[in-house]
Structure 1
Amino acid sequence: MENGGVKSLAPGASEDSVEFRLLMAYAQRRRPQPTNGDATPPPPKPPAEKKKKKKKTSKLKKLFLGCIRPQKEDSETATDPDALGDGEALGILADRLSRIVESVDLGPGDIETDAPADDIQEIVDLLRKSGDELNEEFERNPALAQRFHRDFTYGLFERITTLFLERVPLSDNRSTKSSQEGNIALACEVTRRLTAVDAHPMNMVMGFGARYLQEHFSTWVQQRGGWEKAMASGEDVEDL
């Protein structure tokens, strides 16, 4: 499995980055829920007081603005509580991304091409079904599994994710305000599905996903005033 002639051995983004924590929150939201006939939905949350609501908004803004500012030194980040993020704020964004993905048809398309299928295309087609499908194919095709395990670097992750995004149509999707917003959600989903592959540590894959978000979408997010403004739907804004 060739990786564009160059192996990218650089690690993924830090586990302290907002993108990494966002991916963890997203994976939690997308985790299959147990089916229990006796289970009852949690009671609705009581309305928050205005003062508390303002505090939440302030923390949310600090979190997302911190994501687009120049990176701080590790020592400063580790001692800054706001830089570590707010779980509730990340949950709001993770829910938004999850709703986008649920509205998209991820099934393998019928795109025909004259070029012969390669390993990357095969992996992407399997990932569009699920991460479990890729695991099953690896069991049937040890040679493909060996090449994937051997060559799995950030460079390969980037190629897989980019091709996945290119192959999923978003033009007619009404749940997104822009294709970039949809692509961010899809990048999170690719990362989540790759963590289901029995090949590499989850944190390694999450780090690659976080780095992909930083390298491909940070400029777009910054131009729109940060993650809060770039990704929040009208409904989400009312809740903040």
Structure 2
Amino acid sequence: MMEGDSPSITHSDEYRLLETYCQKRKPSTSPRRSLCMYSREAQTGSEKYGNVAEKLTRIVDSGLLADNGLETDSVNTDVIEKLVELLKKSGDDLNEKIKKDHELLGYLQSTLSYDFFEKLTTAFIKSVVPGFLQSRNKHEEIALTFEVTSRLGALDLHPMNRVMGFGAQYLQKNFTPWVKQHGGWEKAFDDNDEVH
């Protein structure tokens, strides 16, 4: 079993919510695909997680990913900075941009681990949500974690379930206590106002 793919992770609320979010972020290209996505969403608990995934999508789409610069203190600062910038500006051509950068592609293919995912996600969040606001903007930080996981999972570098396992681990480590404190995923995202 690969790192980030343990049964406790893949059956967690965080993992299933990530599945639902990633399905919402995928563009449907044909009616047949839409039907497949519908049945996949039903399997992953769309009824239970659909509202939360929709709210997370709205948070990310609200202009949260404006280019604000980047501050990191990581050993792999250059790679992380490059990836953060690509992920912030990503569109349909993200895969192509990464494939053209052979150094970055090789690095990602050989070193994508939970530790790297954690450094990248933390740098991504810090680049978007100023440090002095991070303790107050949990909704935004959580939404950005979902978006990083979705964008990395869409790359053709690693199996989607591995990346989602990393995302679920990151959520459990950094946000699950806060979510539980606020009554669970649905209650923590009951309204659009930030819960402090």
Q: TM-score, normalised by structure 1?
A: 0.63
What's the secondary structure of 1:198's corresponding residue? coil
What's the secondary structure of 1:103's corresponding residue? helix
Q: Deviations over 1:62-96 (max 9, x none)?
A: xxxxxxxxxxxxxxxxxxxxxx9843121111111
- Match of residue 140 from structure 2: 182
Pick closer, same or farther for the CA change 1:107–1:192 going to 2, 3 Å: same
1:11 is aligned, of 4, 7, 26, to 4
State the shift of 1:23 in Å. Answer: 0.6
Residue 20 in structure 1 maps to residue 15 in structure 2: yes
- Of all paired residues, the percent bearing the same amino acid is 42
- Match of residue 157 from structure 1: 117
Residue 101 in structure 1 maps to residue 60 in structure 2: yes
Structure 2 unaligned regions, length at least 5: 32-42
CA distance in structure 1 between the partners assigned to 2:89 and 2:123 by the alignment:
15
- Match of residue 90 from structure 1: 49
Number of aligned residue pairs: give it: 174
Q: Deviations over 1:27-71 (max 9, x none)?
A: 1112224499xxxxxxxxxxxxxxxxxxxxxxxxxxxxxxxxxxx
What's the secondary structure of 1:197's corresponding residue? coil
Instruction: Tell whether the 8 Å contact from 1:11 to 1:154 is kept in structure 2 after alignment.
Output: yes
Instruction: Tell whether the 8 Å contact from 1:24 to 1:206 is kept in structure 2 after alignment.
Output: yes
Q: TM-score, normalised by structure 2?
A: 0.76
Between 221-230 and 15-24, the greater mean CA deviation after superposition: 221-230
Instruction: Tell whether the 8 Å contact from 2:17 to 2:49 is kept in structure 1 after alignment.
Output: yes
State the shift of 1:142 in Å. Answer: 1.1
Q: CA RMSD in A?
A: 3.1
State the shift of 1:210 in Å. Answer: 0.8
What's the secondary structure of 1:118's corresponding residue? helix
Instruction: Tell whether the 8 Å contact from 1:195 to 1:205 is kept in structure 2 after alignment.
Output: yes
Q: Deviations over 1:75-132 (max 9, x none)?
A: xxxxxxxxx984312111111111111113314334589x996111101100001165
What letter matches 1:32 in structure 2? P
User: Whose helix proportion is higher, 1 or 2?
Assistant: 2
